[in-house]
């Protein structure tokens, strides 16, 4: 799987984060087709890990500009994808960072990207939302980060319910969102806003406005 990630990406900096480097796709269509063939063979998700999505870019930029939000704290990056936000948290001085994603290819990409940026990230390929009792590494997370998770009608309510439970348990929950359809209308406090350039073919517009929220 690591060879698949390397063969289908190039090392580049996301537009909003010139100080970081990631294994990213240069064209969505060929990689999506390649992943669909690979999916048929081994059962993996579409290649969300190969793109620096706008919500994650804004959240990562927020952390790098204001590292006090995570410095010295245990951090969990949910639906980590490329690992961009997890890497930003580690670069900002987090005491420890766990990146969680269901896709085994994402787990490989996160490991590659963390090494590329010289940071330590603990990668877990698991769904923490349905785990009962919740594992210690979830309960102990002082900060939970989620970039761009409100895009799917079926998944968003379940994810947001889990994020709210973490907030109610005392964790700081930060969410980066570019105005996705299933973003909740209540319980959010806006902390920052960024204009994020987006790769051609990935979003409907060449640039999108992203808000970083604290989930109450």
**The domain spanning residue 10 has which CATH number?**
3.40.50.150
Domain that holds residue 201: 2-215
In order along its 216 residues, the chain shows pLDDT tens digits of 788 888 888 999 999 999 999 999 876 545 555 555 555 554 555 678 888 989 999 999 999 999 999 999 999 999 999 999 999 999 999 999 999 999 989 999 999 999 999 999 999 999 898 777 899 999 999 999 999 898 887 888 899 999 999 999 999 999 999 888 888 888 999 999 999 987 665 556 678 899 999 998
pLDDT at residue 47 in the model:
76
Pair of tokens at residue 212: 């970083």
pTM: 0.89
pLDDT at residue 26 in the model:
75
pLDDT at residue 41 in the model:
54
pLDDT at residue 45 in the model:
57
* DSSP E strand stretches across 140-187: 143-147, 172-177
Give how many domains the chain has, as a whole number. Answer: 1
CB burial of 171-182 (b: ≥16 within 10 Å; e: otherwise) equals bbbbbbbbeeeb
pLDDT at residue 60 in the model:
98
């Amino acid at each position: 799987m690591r060879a698949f990630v390397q063969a289908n990406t190039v090392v580049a900096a996301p537009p909003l984060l010139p100080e970081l480097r990631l294994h990213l796709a240069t064209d969505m269509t060929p990689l999506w087709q390649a992943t669909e063939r690979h999916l048929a063979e081994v059962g993996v998700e579409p290649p969300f890990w190969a793109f620096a999505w706008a919500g994650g870019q804004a959240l990562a930029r927020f952390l790098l500009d204001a590292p006090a939000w995570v410095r010295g704290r245990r951090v969990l990056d949910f639906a980590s994808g490329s690992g961009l936000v997890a890497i930003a948290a580690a670069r900002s001085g987090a005491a420890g960072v766990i990146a969680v994603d269901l896709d085994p290819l994402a787990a490989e990409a996160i490991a590659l990207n963390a090494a590329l940026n010289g940071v330590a990230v603990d990668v877990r390929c698991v769904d923490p939302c349905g785990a009962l009792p919740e594992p210690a590494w979830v309960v102990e997370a002082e900060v939970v980060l989620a970039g761009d998770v409100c895009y799917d009608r079926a998944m968003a309510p379940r994810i947001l319910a889990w994020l709210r439970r973490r907030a109610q348990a005392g964790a700081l929950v930060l969410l980066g969102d570019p105005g996705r359809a299933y973003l909740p209308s209540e319980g959010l406090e806006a902390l920052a806003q960024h204009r994020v350039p987006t790769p051609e073919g990935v979003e409907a517009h060449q640039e999108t406005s992203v808000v970083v929220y604290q989930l109450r």
